[in-house]
Amino acid sequence: MCGIVGYVGHQSAGPILLEGLHRLEYRGYDSSGIAVLDRDGAIAVLKRQGKLRDLEAAIDVMPAGGAGIGHTRWATHGVPSDRNAHPHASSSGDVVVVQNGIVENYRSLKVELESSLLDRGQGWLSETDTEVIPELIARELDRGCSFVEALRAALGRLQGANAVAAFHRADPSRIYAARKGSAGGIVIGYGDGEMFIASDLPALLPHTTAVYHLEDGEIATIDAEGAVVDRANQPPLRPQPQRVELDPVAIARGPYRHFMLKEMYEQPRALSDTIRGRARLDPPSALADEFNLTDNQLRSVERVLVIGMGTSLHAAMIGRWWLERIAGIPADFDNASEFRFRAPVIGSSTLVVSVTQSGETIDTLGAMDQVRERWGAPQVVITNVDGSEATRKADASILLRCGPEVGVASTKTFVGSLAALYLLACRIGRARGALDETELTESLEHLLTVPSLVERGLQLSEQCSEIAKSYTSAANFLVLGRGIEHPIAMEAALKCKEISYVHAEGYAAGEMKHGPIALLDQKFPVIALATRGPLFDKMMSAIQQVSARQAPVIAIGDEGDTELAELADHYLGVPHATDLLTPFALTPVVQLLAYHIALARGLDIDQPRNLAKTVTVE
Ligand code: M6R
């Protein structure tokens, strides 16, 4: 999703803005731009459709100036193009803005503002919703407002969640940042005689680890010496920056060809970090510390609803299994964007668990708001980002501690979310008396083996690569699984779609004969997830049905399963896991298959087309 950067200080702003934008590339974008303001009030706006390298190639001479803002745009209103790229200036040319989010009422605002544009003999220069913002600010400035007042008035006119950065020609020593609603964060970075802003920490970390996260409703005025934050109806304050511990090395790609590959290989370590101190054996306890809900509160919960989007929704689906099986509690999962617009029947005894690695996905945040406003139900968030918007909305957070995930495809945060959900099921199960001490010990002992399950799965990379080469030109895949492996089939299909651009469908194998089987022929490969669990025989029947239609079968099952291997065209053996933990054994292998298919097709694995790492628009 769009990314914002800003700089003011003693250095030349242009190169710093471009470097910051490179560090936000992983969020996904289709155009980019910077605007630099020099001491004399000269403004240079440079923007281009395409990748940052296209923008850089178009810059003959880097504009001089110690203040500026920059943007990577993920198109919503108006196609990706040079003219729709940010920054956007007011018709006077004096106010320059970049924006994340959507101005939902931009059409009516354009109509309202049009006459003053026409008076100047001008029209709108882009198809974006963004362009109304600098125009609204400029109108307020003309009425004699200060810049902060003008920005607040302009934001007050916008419907929808928005984050903006801006500057004004009349004041080359300052830049401004503001947040209204949950349109992704803005972090202010404190340097020595220089200040930075960015949508995300990775853009700041090469410069500083002293940061302030701008809150909803705040407007920051930033100069080289610091920031002053204005809140409506409150005196301005100079916030105290906090130190962040993110290690810049952790966000570098290192020897790996792609961030996705690096992050897949980090999974055993990430899982150990998620579980560390939260699965104690003697005496047994799950999530005993750092969790704000008491056993008493958990005992009063009658039902759990797990929500999320994309990969996080697949984790939620598996979470339901564990909540039912381990905690013995009625549980369900839901797609956050659909949940919001139905009339779900939940009450204050429903525990709502949101899974969101970024903690900023707008559909999930919207659902959390609705849960709070309509039912006041207790909420837990499972997220990788401490301080993210979701952590502020929830009553309790389970932080994944996976380290930054840069690849657009969620990998290590998926397995981290699974581990967190499993721990939560154990904690609720123990509080409700569904698990006795021995059963809790056994469940936790099983969980402690998952880093090594994943590690061993990752050793199948070569085999996955060989199989992927046979299917480089396949146009479709069907991925089948049953029971707790059905969500993994869906996750495998999502990974194929998002990084390999292959059409893939994840299905519950029992459903195949009710429609999808009509698609099958020699050119339609089927990936079958078939570990030796309670539904193994049923999976074998499904594979027989696939083979009878001559569709090639890639079977993933237990190591040494000759019966399965004989039935399949290709076979990948994963380490044996207890039937509740097979998702951990299967996940690295389906990730590797999708990765190698994308690699064989020569695709941009870390920044797939049209996708954003954090989806902050509806
Ligand atoms: O940050 P979140 O976990 O809330 O993100 C939800 C989805 O956008 C995300 O899982 C998406 O599906 C991933 N790109 C999948 O790899």
Structural domain harbouring 243: 3-251
Q: Is it the case that residue 560 has pLDDT exceeding 80?
A: yes
Q: Is it the case that residue 185 has pLDDT exceeding 80?
A: no
Question: Is the same domain home to 397 and 271?
Answer: yes
C-alpha closest to that of 1 among 253, 199, 204, 260: 199
Residue 606 belongs to a domain: no
Q: If pLDDT is split at 50, 70 and 90, which confidence band does 251 have?
A: low
Indicate if ligand 1 lies below 6 Å from the C-beta of 441.
no
Helix (H) or strand (E) holding 584: helix 582-600
Residue 577 belongs to a domain: yes
CATH code of the domain in which 538 resides? 3.40.50.10490
Question: Is the same domain home to 69 and 200?
Answer: yes
Q: Is it the case that residue 178 has pLDDT exceeding 70?
A: yes
Domain end among 251, 283, 302 = 251
Question: Is the same domain home to 554 and 477?
Answer: yes
User: Of 64-73, 175-184, 584-593, which gets the smallest average pLDDT?
Assistant: 175-184
DSSP string, 272-288: HHHHTTTEEETTEEES-
Question: Is the same domain home to 75 and 97?
Answer: yes
The pLDDT score that the predictor gives to residue 246 is 65
Here the tokens at position 505 are 């469908």
Question: Is the same domain home to 586 and 521?
Answer: yes
The pLDDT score that the predictor gives to residue 78 is 87
CA–centroid distance, 312 to ligand 1, in Å, is 6
Q: What confidence tens digit (pLDDT) does each residue in 426-472 have?
A: 999 999 999 999 999 999 999 999 999 999 999 999 999 999 999 98
DSSP string, 281-309: ETTEEES-SS----HHHHHT--EEEEEES
C-alpha closest to that of 322 among 313, 334, 312, 332: 332
The pLDDT score that the predictor gives to residue 606 is 84
- 184 or 330, which is more confident: 330
What is the residue-averaged pLDDT of the chain? 93
Residue 608 belongs to a domain: no
Please count the structural domains in the chain.
3
Residue 434 belongs to a domain: yes
Question: Is the same domain home to 305 and 242?
Answer: no
Question: Is the same domain home to 205 and 229?
Answer: yes
Question: Is the same domain home to 225 and 272?
Answer: no
Cis peptide before 87 (omega within 30 of 0): yes
The pLDDT score that the predictor gives to residue 248 is 64
Q: If pLDDT is split at 50, 70 and 90, which confidence band does 418 have?
A: very high
**Complete edge-to-edge strand list for the sheet that includes strand 218-223:** 88-89, 95-101, 162-168, 175-180, 218-223, 226-231, 234-237
Q: If pLDDT is split at 50, 70 and 90, which confidence band does 184 have?
A: low
Average pLDDT of the segment spanning 91-102: 93
Q: Is it the case that residue 205 has pLDDT exceeding 70?
A: yes
Kindly list the catalytic residues. 2, 613
CATH code of the domain in which 135 resides? 3.60.20.10
Question: Is the same domain home to 127 and 32?
Answer: yes
Q: Is it the case that residue 120 has pLDDT exceeding 90?
A: no
Q: If pLDDT is split at 50, 70 and 90, which confidence band does 247 have?
A: low
Question: Is the same domain home to 103 and 66?
Answer: yes
Residue 605 belongs to a domain: no
Residue 420 belongs to a domain: yes
Question: Is the same domain home to 14 and 55?
Answer: yes
Domain end among 200, 228, 251 = 251
Indicate if ligand 1 lies below 6 Å from the C-beta of 311.
yes
Q: Are 336 and 312 in contact (CB under 8 A)?
A: no
Average pLDDT of the segment spanning 382-403: 93
Q: Is it the case that residue 252 has pLDDT exceeding 80?
A: no
The pLDDT score that the predictor gives to residue 287 is 94
Residue 20 belongs to a domain: yes
Q: What confidence tens digit (pLDDT) does each residue in 17-76 have?
A: 999 999 888 777 889 999 999 999 999 999 999 999 999 999 988 999 999 999 999 888
User: Of 52-56, 231-235, 283-287, 608-612, which gets the smallest average pLDDT?
Assistant: 608-612
CA–centroid distance, 371 to ligand 1, in Å, is 21
Amino acid at 288: A
The protein residue with its alpha carbon nearest to ligand 1, atom 1, reads: 358
Q: Are 153 and 136 in contact (CB under 8 A)?
A: yes
Domain end among 251, 282, 297 = 251
Ligand 1 pocket test target in 337, 393, 410, 412 with most atoms within 8 Å of CB: 410
Q: What confidence tens digit (pLDDT) does each residue in 270-296 have?
A: 999 999 899 999 899 999 987 889 999
CA–centroid distance, 414 to ligand 1, in Å, is 9
Question: Is the same domain home to 312 and 404?
Answer: yes
CA–centroid distance, 611 to ligand 1, in Å, is 10
